[in-house]
Amino acid sequence: MPDFSTIQKISFIGSGNLATNLALGLQKAGLRIVEVFSPDKSHARQFANLINCTVADHLESINTESDLYLIAVPDDAIEDVGRSLPQFNGIAAHTSGISSIKSLASAKNHGVFYPLQTFTLGRKVDLAHVPFFIEGSDNHVINALKVLAGKLSDNVREITSDQRRQLHLAAVFVSNFPNHLFSIAEDILEEQGLGFDFLKPLIRETAAKVSSVSPASAQTGPARRNDSNTLEKHLEMLEQYPEYRKLYQLISEQIKKKYHE
């Protein structure tokens, strides 16, 4: 039985924004990133140059001496990656919000190492308070991954695959969807020759206030006030944007229903 409590050497499968941010954080925490594999060779080389590690030519020929293989690839590729890996004594863990731990069952020691955060090209994310959600095929794996996550963040927790899926779904509602609404606002203002910059203090305060007030108590705006005049004016202004108008209508209806029925 390898001593998992001292994960030191890590290999990465995948070289995207998530992999890059994790690798930088792990390196800073004193871990050794030894190798990376990606089907996109130029992407893998970029990662390897930044992190100063080697590039594996094939999944099958990856270095089998690592303590951990972090698999940060699209969800529909995880199972295939797991099956293509050679035999090793270390842990194989994926970083997905939605894939079950079972997708890596082909590896003897397997787990999940899921950071709940959005990783965007060109932005280095501070991992110190990012929640890390852990699963493992046995207690040794769970503990090893917990200790490792604890070197990156003060917010580490073991949960089930089911709970993780719910967190992932909730994350879409608080991150991907709000970002789409930001881009709608940008479109509306651009048309008027007004800059998106004007909205930034409001966006920051909207995010900041739910740190101290629950979202339901923090709700403001015309729909919350049931202010039909303003709602009608806004819908009129959106006539040139039928898609945005539909979305405005649906969300406003839901807010009115939630607070006034």
Which of the residues 193 through 252 are near a copy of itself (CB under 8 A)?
Answer: 194, 196, 198-225, 227, 229-230, 233-234, 237-238, 243-244, 246-248, 250-251
**Which residue, 54 or 155, has its beta carbon nearer to a copy of itself?**
155
Q: Which is nearer to a copy of itself, 1 or 216 (CB)?
A: 216
Are the C-beta atoms of 132 and 149 separated by less than 8 Å?
A: yes
Of the residues 41, 83, 102, 180, which one makes contact with a copy of itself according to CB under 8 A: 180
CA distance 138 to 153: 22
Q: Could you tell me if 33 and 126 are in contact, meaning their C-beta atoms sit under 8 angstroms apart?
A: no
Judged by CB under 8 A, the residue of 131, 142, 150, 151 near a copy of itself is 131
Closest distance to a copy of itself from the beta carbon of 55 (Å): 24
Q: How far is the CB of 20 from a copy of itself (least distance, A)?
A: 14
Under the binding rule (CB under 8 A), the answer on residue 176 touching a copy of itself is yes
Quick check: 163 binds a copy of itself (CB under 8 A)?
yes
34 or 152: CB nearest a copy of itself: 152
Residues 149 and 31 sit within 8 Å (Cβ to Cβ): no
Q: Distances in Å between the alpha carbon of 98 and those of 34, 74, 155, 170, 195?
A: 27, 11, 20, 11, 37
183 near a copy of itself, judged by CB under 8 A: yes
Considering the rule CB under 8 A, would residue 125 count as an interface residue with a copy of itself?
Answer: yes
Smallest separation, CB 208 to a copy of itself (Å): 7
User: For a copy of itself, which residue of 63, 106, 118, 143 counts as binding (CB under 8 A)?
Assistant: 118
Residues 133, 111 contacting (CB under 8 angstroms):
no
Q: In terms of CB distance, is 29 or 207 closer to a copy of itself?
A: 207
Q: CB 247 → a copy of itself: shortest distance, Å?
A: 6
Nearer to a copy of itself, 8 or 163 (CB): 163
Distance in Å, CB of 35 to a copy of itself, minimum: 26
Q: d(Cα 13, Cα 38) in Å, to the nearest integer?
A: 6
- Binding residue for a copy of itself (CB under 8 A) from 129, 239, 240, 242? 129
Q: Which stretch binds a copy of itself (CB under 8 A): 36-44, 102-110, 144-152, 181-189?
A: 181-189
Q: Site residues for a copy of itself, window 13-72 (CB under 8 A)? A: none
Closest separation in Å from C-beta 161 to a copy of itself: 12
